[in-house]
Structure 1
Amino acid sequence: MTKTFRMALLTSTLLAGPALAETTLTIESWRNDDLTIWQDVLIPAFNAQHPDIKVVFAPSAPTEYNASLNSKLEAGSAGDLITCRPFDASLELYNKGFLADLSGLASMANFSPVAKSAWQTDDGSATFCVPMASVIHGFIYNKDAFDALGIAVPTTNEEFYAALDKIKADGTYIPMAMGTNDQWEAATMGYQNIGPTYWKGEEGRLALIKGEQKLTDEPWVAPYRELAKWKDYLGDGFEAQTYPDSQNMFTLGRAAIYPAGSWEISGFNTQAEFKMGAFPPPVAAAGDTCYISDHNDIAIGLNAKSPNAEAGKVFLEWVGSPEFATLYANALPGFFSLNSTPVKMEDPLAQEFVSWREKCKSTIRSTYQILSRGTPNLENETWNASANVIKGTETPEDAAKRLQDGLASWYEPQK
């Protein structure tokens, strides 16, 4: 190679500037049911603006996520972006140095203090995940089944059990699709779904945190008494029934009612061939205040040890944008945007869920903030207790006492 040619090559390289090497970002998540949404909608939209950043969505099973993620983080093998559960689980990761402080992201200005509260330090000085969505609890029902059996949408407990009895007596449908094998749904779609009606939402949740109420008090035991009644309506073999089994049971038209989170909407829309509706948790008597769990559910953070931190921040700025909010909320109806920019919901079932905000009082799941920071972990123990009560292997009172004893063993206000 001549000296002149070498100089010309060097000059052209310098003029061209640094080559943009493709960066690959891997997202850890527990939401394995929205893989195609990420692959077909969200990631392509991001790549339209940032073709040099490849994004791989690599979810785990929901029941395995926490343990799997913690193991990967400890070993230094976790992905670049970490899908964040709300409140204590993610706060613990931040406190251990696994999640980066994202307070400096420009897109954080697009979220209210309430939206960010689930992914902040107690004093609000650091925000470590970009909020994505909240979910609302209630019941999804098969409209065709209700119409065929002449059942009106229940609003009170009496009407709720009358509907279940009528469905059971007819025999065409299993009254309610839920199993106890995986445990978490018994708590999440059972106890945390109907519970706020009894402990009066935020009033009871905050009283528990302050030590002014105990889990053995009537407002906290009463939901377990209701769950114990569900056993008669779940069909044969519910004890071995997994979460996907329950989803299939409902979408195949074999069950009439599904205790739900709004996150089910997109999957059910694709799979069910019948009309669906939804109703909020029934109240004790007509005219009573209704309460819903409208739970800050999902956000996304940056692995503090990611070798691709700058590319990760580019992606997170996009996640915090109005464009992402609109894409995500409508690609995944039932995940209600936490972005301050209003998002018009196109899906009627999603609109039904979100309309409850106007007539019911909202709260978050009782175990998520502060109360699951110790051992035994109240969130995980509530999974087990809820499943046991439904199966009949533990009484509501015994379950409540066990949870209270566990909480009091490490949480000072409850001692």
Structure 2
Amino acid sequence: MKKFLRTAAIVAAVAVALAGCTGAGGGGKAGDVNPSGEIKPRAISWLLSRPADGATITIMKELADEYAKKHPGFKLNLITTPDRPSYIQKYETLAAANKLPELFDTDATPFAQKLAKQGRMVDAEKLLKSIGVYKDYRPNALNYQRFDDGSLYMIPFEFQLEYFWYNKALFQQAGVSVPSSLNDFPALCKKLRQSGVTPLAVDGQDAWPLERYIAYQPFRITGPEYIQKLKKGDAKFSDSTGTKAVNWMADLGTSKCFQEGFSSQGYSDAQNLFTSGKAAMYNIGTWELSSLATDKLNSAVRNDVDFFTLPTIADSATAANEYVVSSGIGMAVNAKTFDPLVRDFLKFALGKYPAAYAATGALSPTTNVETTIPAGATPLYKKALDQANDLGSKLAMPWDTQLDPTSNTRLQQELVLLVQGDMKPTEFIDTMDSTIAQNAPKFFK
């Protein structure tokens, strides 16, 4: 009963925010990207899962205000829920009630693909081509948003690359070098531990940073293929690829790669551990460049910070320049409410957004603008950005966007136990194979 009331409250609260904003609309089809008719200004809404003070929301607010000056009566209502679990509940509840607004955030999940197959999302590839901006987007920025069948229904607003940041002085002190293979990590961690430092700082509290690691071995062994099969129950952790990944995670644990009590330490804890010189490595994306490549960084470590990309393995199926590259959560366009106004606003905003975003010091999802290097940035800032110009085509997709929600939550819980040594690899494998077998079929049907 409590769950029903909470769900009903979500629908009611968002319905109030959307009142008067979705009354107009084209009621069009997913492939109809150039609806005919007059542009009639009105309020539209965007259901968001982004930081309220982040660059994307700030820029889009400014662009909406600029558009409204020439289109009196237009307004962009931003309905923000940065907390991802709460957002997903809200988004899926509204979708089930057929109350999604004109624009809404979503990853390329099976749930989103169902909406696309039902004709409830505008074909983003056709839309971007129609308004003349498709050619400007980085292929990997678009590919991150695609469903497994290659179709594109989400528009990216950012572009991030994930690296292993490391402290050169601590490596030298321990007598170690940058690992040439993923399989070098356990031995590397042991030597760093012996030198008196934490090998890897990780945000265990939020679960997804630790989950990155379980994806690495399968990506190097098979490319994207393993997770595409695993999430549907067509592959198992008991397979050779899965077993390799699980045993590697267990080895990271027994080698004490992560800080003591990592499961209860958060984002800032992990960052501070690295920037204070107490941890030798930190696996995170370019969204933290302003904290890692700046003259404001602790002078004791500032000149020792560098990065390396995800190491390969022998007979790797993926190249050294292929690793975790993401374009964040995408924006979908509601086909039901898509009309000349929504199209015209998107054409206006998407034409101006890249330059404004690049001016903040971030990588644009497009290649037609140059990122502004902020004042106080160290040479490492540009070095990290330049890697975007030399990327392969295969992406190491974050597993939290691939697995069904129940299996993903269970995986995150069991990973902590596995790495802490509270669960044997065989127990982990049996638990996860059973969980996926039970939940994947009904989610991917």
Distance 2:147 2:394 in 1: 22
Query: Equivalent residue of 1:130, what SS?
Result: coil
Distance 2:216 2:118 in 1: 31
Q: Which residue of 1 aligns with 2:48?
A: 28
Q: Which residue of 1 aligns with 2:20?
A: none
Q: Which residue of 2 aligns with 1:191?
A: 214
Distance 2:63 2:384 in 1: 23
Q: Which residue of 2 aligns with 1:10?
A: none
Distance 2:396 2:316 in 1: 23
Cα distance, 1:397–1:245 mapped onto 2, change above 3 Å: same
Alpha-carbon shift at residue 219 of structure 1 (Å):
1.5
Q: Which residue of 2 aligns with 1:277?
A: 306
Q: TM-score, normalised by structure 1?
A: 0.71
Q: Which residue of 2 aligns with 1:8?
A: none
Contact 2:56 2:157 in 1 (8 A): no
Cα distance, 1:80–1:241 mapped onto 2, change above 3 Å: farther
Correspondence 1:247 to 2:271: yes
Q: Which residue of 1 aligns with 2:281?
A: 257
Distance 2:147 2:421 in 1: 39
Structure (1 or 2) with the larger CA radius of gyration: 1
Cα distance, 1:250–1:109 mapped onto 2, change above 3 Å: same
Match of 1:348 among 382, 395, 399: 382
Distance 2:55 2:228 in 1: 36
Cα distance, 1:99–1:236 mapped onto 2, change above 3 Å: same
Contact 1:27 1:79 in 2 (8 A): yes
- Paired residues for 1:397-408 under 5 Å: 397-408=426-437
Over residues 206-250 of structure 1, what are the superposed CA-to-partner deviations in whole Å (9 max), with x where a residue is unaligned? 665898753311222212222223331322221212344323433
Q: Which residue of 1 aligns with 2:27?
A: none
Cα distance, 1:400–1:192 mapped onto 2, change above 3 Å: same
Correspondence 1:293 to 2:324: yes
Bigger Cα displacement from structure 2, 106-115 vs 260-269: 106-115
Query: Equivalent residue of 1:175, what SS?
Result: strand
Over residues 104-124 of structure 1, what are the superposed CA-to-partner deviations in whole Å (9 max), with x where a residue is unaligned? 452364358876555567766
Cα distance, 1:207–1:312 mapped onto 2, change above 3 Å: same
- Paired residues for 1:6-405 under 5 Å: 23=43, 25-29=45-49, 31-32=50-51, 35-38=53-56, 40-45=58-63, 47-51=65-69, 53-54=75-76, 56=78, 58-74=80-96, 80-95=102-117, 99-102=121-124, 103-104=126-127, 106-107=130-131, 109-110=134-135, 116=142, 119=145, 127-143=152-168, 145-146=170-171, 151-157=176-182, 159-171=184-196, 173-187=197-211, 189-197=212-220, 199-205=221-227, 213-231=235-253, 232-266=256-290, 268-269=292-293, 272-273=297-298, 274-275=302-303, 276-284=305-313, 290=320, 291-295=322-326, 297-303=328-334, 312-318=342-348, 320-321=350-351, 323-328=352-357, 331=360, 333=362, 337=365, 339=366, 341=368, 347-351=381-385, 353-354=387-388, 357=391, 362-365=394-397, 367=399, 372=403, 377-405=406-434
Over residues 232-280 of structure 1, what are the superposed CA-to-partner deviations in whole Å (9 max), with x where a residue is unaligned? 1322221212344323433454422112234443454577442532212
Distance 1:354 1:53 in 2: 35
Question: Counting strand residues as a fraction of each chain, which structure ranks higher?
Answer: 1
Contact 1:25 1:79 in 2 (8 A): yes
Contact 2:56 2:357 in 1 (8 A): no
Aligned-pair RMSD on alpha carbons? Answer: 4.4
Distance 2:297 2:107 in 1: 28
Distance 2:364 2:347 in 1: 19
Distance 1:113 1:156 in 2: 27
Query: Equivalent residue of 1:300, what SS?
Result: strand
Alpha-carbon shift at residue 28 of structure 1 (Å):
0.7
Distance 1:59 1:244 in 2: 21
Contact 2:43 2:76 in 1 (8 A): yes
Q: TM-score, normalised by structure 2?
A: 0.67
Contact 1:178 1:259 in 2 (8 A): yes
Cα distance, 1:404–1:326 mapped onto 2, change above 3 Å: farther
Alpha-carbon shift at residue 49 of structure 1 (Å):
4.9
Cα distance, 1:242–1:115 mapped onto 2, change above 3 Å: closer
Alpha-carbon shift at residue 91 of structure 1 (Å):
1.8
Bigger Cα displacement from structure 2, 217-226 vs 244-253: 244-253
Distance 1:311 1:249 in 2: 49
Query: Equivalent residue of 2:263, what SS?
Result: helix
Number of positions where the alignment pairs a residue of Structure 1 with one of Structure 2: 381
Task: Report the residue type matching 1:242 in the other structure.
Answer: G
Unaligned runs of 5+ in 2: 1-37, 374-380
Task: Report the residue type matching 1:247 in the other structure.
Answer: Q
Q: Percent identity?
A: 19
Query: Equivalent residue of 1:282, what SS?
Result: coil
Distance 1:247 1:72 in 2: 36
Query: Equivalent residue of 2:210, what SS?
Result: helix
Over residues 282-322 of structure 1, what are the superposed CA-to-partner deviations in whole Å (9 max), with x where a residue is unaligned? 3345999545233454321234566x96654444334543x
Distance 1:249 1:237 in 2: 13
